[in-house]
């Protein structure tokens, strides 16, 4: 097939989380070429008319969608797959509606809550996000729209504030950062990521990964921006991904898999995805976020999960493509 790999237009001065998409595009291009496909790269901007003209000229059989933002805004990334749908072009990964719903973390949490799936309590400047939620000991300030833990560090964790004080803090933080913030109940405990990959009989849940916070001491156990994107930082060097579990975790891992599948179905994911969890001290899992089209870089969690399941990168790419063509 003739396949276009699309990603957001990148400037050399962009943040590391944005520049990472270039590494993803290279890996996908290598895999697609080795599978016998004709491949071209298409950097995308907010000029949808220009994109339409380019796509009409290129006439691809399929678009491999790696677009993570448009015009520097994560909240606009769903526009590109909607454009592809209007042109009747098949594309990989989650549908536009699923991307929109999960990128808006407040909408995603409301959907989870309504479906009876466990997600931590939350609050906005308008007050608590759901009725009857108990006041947590700590709140974590998060961006509503931005991904990759942008803006999150140890100062994002708040203790000893009431609802009124929290509302003021959220308003001030939003005004100062320019990004809409909400507060999520912080769950002390363990952190897990579960990757999913399309298969003919439904999604395959790959081997669970736990993020270990080594030698953190009194530091907050957070996978913040430094832990993800700054290799020289303490947080990056002391958050280790582990796939090793003992028999005592068997019941928990079964429940995590059940919840990951439920998220896939609830949000209508396609191709591949990842669900992030915290597990409290009583062993109760809590769904933090649903990641459509997670990072495919060689050092990312999805690639590590594929390796644990003895699935080659080419096989995974082929399954992602086949799921797009079945849609």
Contact 133, 110 (CB under 8 A): no
How far is C-alpha 160 from the chain's CA centre?
30
Confidence category of residue 133, pLDDT binned at 50, 70, 90:
low
- Which CATH number is 69's domain given? 3.40.50
Domain-located, residue 41: yes
Give, as one character, the DSSP assignment of residue 135. Answer: P
Q: How far apart are CA 297 and CA 25, in angstroms?
A: 9
- Together in a domain, 169 and 194: no
- Together in a domain, 195 and 279: yes
Q: How far apart are CA 118 and CA 86, in angstroms?
A: 35
- Provide, for the chain, the percentages of residues in helix, strand and coil under a 3-state DSSP scheme, each rounded to the nearest 5: 40, 25, 40
Residue 65 confidence (pLDDT): 98
- Which CATH number is 317's domain given? 3.30.470.20
- pTM across the whole model: 0.94
Average pLDDT, stretch 135-141? Answer: 88
- Together in a domain, 64 and 176: no
- Together in a domain, 150 and 54: no
Each residue's pLDDT tens digit, 183-192: 999 999 999 9
Q: In what order do the strands lie in the sheet with 62-65?
A: 38-44, 2-8, 62-65
Alpha helices in 61-210 (DSSP H): 79-86, 96-103, 105-114, 163-177
Each residue's pLDDT tens digit, 255-275: 999 999 999 999 999 999 999
- Together in a domain, 192 and 284: yes
Domain-located, residue 235: no
Each residue's pLDDT tens digit, 295-322: 999 999 999 999 999 999 999 999 999 9
Residue 132 confidence (pLDDT): 55
**The pLDDT of residue 178 is above 80:** no
């Amino acid at each position: 097939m003739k396949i276009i790999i699309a990603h957001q237009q990148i400037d050399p001065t962009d943040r590391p989380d944005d520049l990472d998409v270039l590494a993803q595009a290279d890996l996908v291009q290598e895999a697609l070429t080795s599978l016998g496909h004709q491949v071209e790269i298409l950097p995308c901007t907010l000029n949808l008319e220009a994109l339409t003209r380019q796509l009409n000229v290129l006439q691809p059989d399929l678009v491999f969608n790696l677009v993570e933002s448009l015009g520097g805004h994560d909240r606009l990334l769903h526009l590109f797959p909607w454009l592809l749908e209007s042109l009747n072009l098949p594309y990989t990964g989650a549908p536009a509606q699923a991307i929109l719903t999960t990128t808006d973390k407040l909408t995603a949490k409301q959907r989870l809550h309504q479906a009876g799936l466990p997600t931590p309590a939350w609050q906005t400047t308008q007050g608590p996000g759901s009725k009857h939620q108990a006041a947590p000991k700590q709140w974590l300030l998060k961006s509503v729209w931005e991904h990759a833990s942008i803006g999150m560090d140890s100062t994002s964790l708040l203790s000893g504030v009431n609802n009124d004080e929290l509302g003021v803090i959220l308003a001030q933080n939003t005004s100062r950062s320019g990004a809409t913030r909400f507060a999520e109940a912080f769950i002390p405990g363990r952190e897990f990521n579960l990757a999913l990959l399309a298969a003919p009989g439904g999604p395959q849940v790959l081997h669970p990964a736990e993020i270990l916070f080594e030698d953190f001491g009194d530091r907050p156990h957070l996978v913040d921006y430094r832990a993800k994107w700054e290799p020289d930082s303490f947080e990056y060097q002391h958050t280790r991904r582990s796939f090793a579990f003992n028999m005592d975790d068997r019941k928990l891992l079964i429940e995590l898999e059940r919840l990951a599948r439920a998220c896939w179905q609830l949000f209508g994911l396609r191709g591949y995805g990842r669900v992030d969890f915290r597990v409290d001290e009583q062993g109760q899992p809590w769904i933090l976020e649903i990641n459509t089209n997670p990072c495919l870089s060689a050092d990312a969690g999805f690639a590590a999960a594929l390796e644990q399941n003895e699935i080659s990168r080419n096989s995974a790419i082929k399954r992602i493509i086949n799921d797009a063509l079945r849609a």
